[in-house]
Chain A
Amino acid sequence: MTETTTKPAFGVTERGYYGDFGGAYIPEMLYPNVEELRQNYLKIMAEPDFQIEFQALLRDFVGRPTPLFFAKRLSEKYGCKIYLKREDLCHTGAHKVNNTVGQILIAKRLKKQRIVAETGAGQHGVATATVCALMGMECIIYMGELDIERQAPNVARMQMLGAEVRPAKSGSKTLKDATNEAMRHWINNPVDTHYIIGSVVGPHPYPDMVARFQAVISEEIKKQLVEKEGRPNPDYVLACVGGGSNAAGAFYHFLDEPSVRLIAVEAAGRGIDSGHSAATTALGKPGILHGSRTILMQTNDGQVVEPYSISAGLDYPGIGPIHAHLFKSGRAEFYAATDQEALEASLELSRTEGIIPALETAHALAYLKNLNAKPHEIVVINLSGRGDKDLNTYMKHL
Chain B
Amino acid sequence: MNRITEVFQNGKANLLNVYFTAGYPNLNDTATVLQALQDEGADLVEIGMPYSDPVADGETIQQSNQQALENGMTVAVLFEQLQNVRDRVTLPILLMGYLNPVVQFGVENFCKKCQEVGVDGLILPDMPMDVYLDDYKTIFEKYGLLNIFLITPQTSDARVRQIDGVSQGFIYMVSSASVTGAQSGVSAGMEAYFARINAMGLHNPRLIGFGIKDRDTFQTACQHAKGAIIGSQFIRVLQENAHDLQPGIGAFLRSVK
Contact = CB atoms under 8 A, between A and B. Distances in A.
Contacts of A15: 130
A191 B104 contact: no
B152 interface: yes
B69 interface: yes
Nearest to B153: A190
A33 B177 CA distance: 12
Contacts of A375: none
Nearest to B105: A302
Interface in A1-55: 15, 23-29, 31-33
A298 B55 contact: no
Interface in B173-213: 174, 177-179, 182
Contacts of B13: none
A302 B100 contact: yes
Interface string A56-98: 0000000000000000000000000000000000000000000
B101 A32 contact: no
A3 B149 CA distance: 41
Given A302-B100, A303-B51, A304-B52, A29 B126 contact: no
A184 B55 contact: yes
B179 A188 contact: yes
Contacts of B51: 302-303
A294 B19 CA distance: 30
A301 B127 contact: no
Given A28-B151, A171-B52, A303 B101 contact: yes
A187 interface: yes
A304 B56 contact: no
Interface stretch (B38-46, B154-162, B233-241, B244-252): B154-162
A27 B178 CA distance: 11
A289 interface: yes
Q: Chain B: interface residue count, which band? A: 35 or more
A291 B99 CA distance: 10
B58 interface: yes
A180 interface: yes
A176 interface: yes
A188 B154 contact: no
Contact of B128 (A23, A189, A191): A23
A392 interface: no
A140 interface: no
Contacts of B102: 302
Contact of A188 (B53, B75, B127, B182): B182
A338 B86 CA distance: 52
Contacts of A191: 154, 177
B53 A27 contact: no
B74 interface: yes
A170 B53 CA distance: 9
A201 to B, nearest CB: 13
A15 B129 CA distance: 12
B133 interface: no
Contacts of B98: 288
A289 B179 CA distance: 18
Contact of B103 (A24, A171, A189, A288): A288
Nearest to A188: B178
A23 B131 CA distance: 9
Contact of B55 (A24, A32, A180, A301): A180
A290 B51 CA distance: 13
B145 interface: no
Contact of A31 (B66, B69, B76, B159): B159
A184 B127 contact: no
Given A190-B154, A302-B104, A28 B174 contact: yes
A29 B177 contact: yes
Interface string B101-112: 111110000000
A24 B130 CA distance: 10
A145 to B, nearest CB: 15
A302 B177 contact: no
A187 B179 contact: yes
Nearest to B163: A28
Contacts of B105: 301-302
A187 B99 contact: no
A370 to B, nearest CB: 33
A287 interface: yes
A267 interface: no
B34 to A, nearest CB: 21
B152 A170 contact: no
A29 B174 contact: yes
Interface in B35-88: 51-53, 55-56, 58, 62, 66, 69, 74-76
A127 B177 CA distance: 28
Given A28-B125, A32-B156, A300-B104, A288 B179 contact: no
B53 A180 contact: yes
A24 B128 contact: yes
A101 to B, nearest CB: 27
B104 A32 contact: no
A345 interface: no
Interface string A169-184: 0110000100010011
A27 B177 contact: no
B169 to A, nearest CB: 16
A377 B183 CA distance: 61
A32 B100 contact: no
B41 to A, nearest CB: 29
Contacts of A190: 152, 154, 177
B155 A25 contact: no
A27 B99 contact: no
B58 A184 contact: yes
A302 B101 contact: yes
Given A288-B103, A302-B104, A303-B101, 13 more contacts: A25-B99, A25-B128, A27-B55, A28-B151, A31-B154, A187-B55, A188-B182, A189-B177, A287-B100, A289-B100, A302-B51, A302-B101, A303-B52
29 contacts: A25-B128, A26-B128, A27-B55, A28-B150, A28-B152, A28-B174, A29-B56, A29-B152, A29-B174, A29-B178, A32-B155, A32-B156, A33-B154, A180-B55, A184-B55, A184-B58, A184-B179, A190-B177, A191-B177, A288-B98, A288-B103, A289-B53, A290-B55, A300-B104, A301-B74, A301-B75, A301-B101, A302-B101, A303-B52
